[in-house]
């Protein structure tokens, strides 16, 4: 007995999708990633659906074999996130299967693999930082508690980071944080394999969303939203 899970991440300049299989282990269900397929940035809308079909066919499956979905819900590229979420919404609605939405900041926090209070950081551009304040229990990735996810200026983030463990996949941001005398762990950028594993944990806990409820976790408003607001 097994379950097939498809994970998608289109939150960054480049993305990926992963096909994972969940099998019954001796003590608990175990998830194994069958393959990760990279997606080149700037062409997610053209690549995503054909690549999903090709990945399933390569491993001898069809879309009806999919039992669940996991998707990186942000923060990240506004356009990229919309493409990934739209594809997962369409598939999940057609197949009537559950979706696990995974924050990229949670993926960063859990990639540090050290229990305790951590700050996950992603460069948000414009001198800002996406900051996720997480409490990681000893049984990662099953024991994760989010205190907050916010958009902070770099100055605010440095002040917030004093005395805390910081984790980031952004080398330039890590350099700035270290220059302020703060210890930081530089990790590989989480891909869809990480999203698949975290998504499975969400699914096991019943933390799912229906297709119509799936929304991007932008944290920061888009330029269109900002500049369309009437002047006060």
| Domain boundaries defined on the chain | 2-103+190-219, 113-186
Look at domain 2-103+190-219 and name its CATH class: alpha beta
Q: Give the pLDDT of residue 203.
A: 93
Q: What is the pTM of this model?
A: 0.90
CB 50 within 8 A of CB 39: no
Number of neighbours of residue 166 by Cβ within 10 angstroms: 23
- What does the mean pLDDT of the chain come to? 90
Q: Which residues pair with 185 in a beta bridge?
A: 167
Residue in 132, 136, 129, 146 with CA at minimum distance from that of residue 180: 129
* DSSP state for residue 181 in the 8-state scheme: T
Domain 113-186 has CATH 3.30.70: no
Give yes or no on whether 2-103+190-219 and 113-186 have one common fold: yes
Query: Where residue 30 falls among pLDDT bands split at 50, 70, 90?
Result: confident
Spell 8-24 as b/e; 16+ CB within 10 A means b.
bbbbbebbbbbbbbbee
Q: Which residues pair with 37 in a beta bridge?
A: 17
Q: Give the pLDDT of residue 113.
A: 63
163-215: pLDDT as tens digits: 889 999 999 999 999 999 999 999 999 999 999 999 999 998 899 999 999 99
What average pLDDT does the segment 3-27 reach? 90
Percent of the chain with pLDDT over 90: 77
Cis amide prior to 75 (ω within 30 degrees) = yes
Residue in 97, 141, 90 with CA at minimum distance from that of residue 3: 97
Residue in 58, 23, 52 with CA at minimum distance from that of residue 200: 23
152-174: pLDDT as tens digits: 999 999 999 988 899 999 999 99
CB 210 within 8 A of CB 100: no
């Amino acid at each position: 007995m097994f379950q097939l899970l498809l994970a998608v991440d289109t939150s960054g300049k480049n993305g990926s999708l992963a096909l994972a299989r969940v099998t019954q282990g001796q003590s608990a269900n175990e998830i194994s990633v069958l393959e990760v397929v990279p997606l080149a940035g700037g062409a997610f809308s053209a690549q995503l659906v054909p690549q999903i079909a090709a990945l399933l066919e390569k491993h001898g499956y069809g879309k009806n074999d999919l039992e669940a979905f996991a998707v990186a819900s942000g923060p990240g590229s506004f356009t990229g996130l919309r493409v990934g979420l739209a594809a997962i919404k369409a598939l999940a609605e057609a197949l009537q299967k559950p979706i696990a939405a995974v924050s990229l900041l949670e993926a960063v926090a859990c990639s540090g693999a050290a229990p305790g209070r951590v700050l996950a950081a992603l460069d948000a551009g414009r001198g800002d930082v996406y900051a996720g304040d997480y409490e990681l229990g000893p049984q990662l990735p099953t024991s994760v508690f989010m205190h907050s996810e916010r958009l902070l200026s770099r100055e605010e983030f440095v002040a917030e980071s004093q005395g805390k463990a910081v984790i980031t996949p952004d080398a330039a941001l890590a350099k700035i944080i270290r220059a302020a005398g703060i210890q930081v762990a530089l990790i590989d950028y989480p891909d869809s394999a990480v999203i698949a594993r975290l998504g499975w944990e969400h699914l096991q806990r019943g933390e799912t969303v229906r297709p119509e409820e799936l929304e991007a976790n932008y944290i920061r408003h888009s330029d269109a939203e900002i500049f369309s607001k009437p002047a006060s």
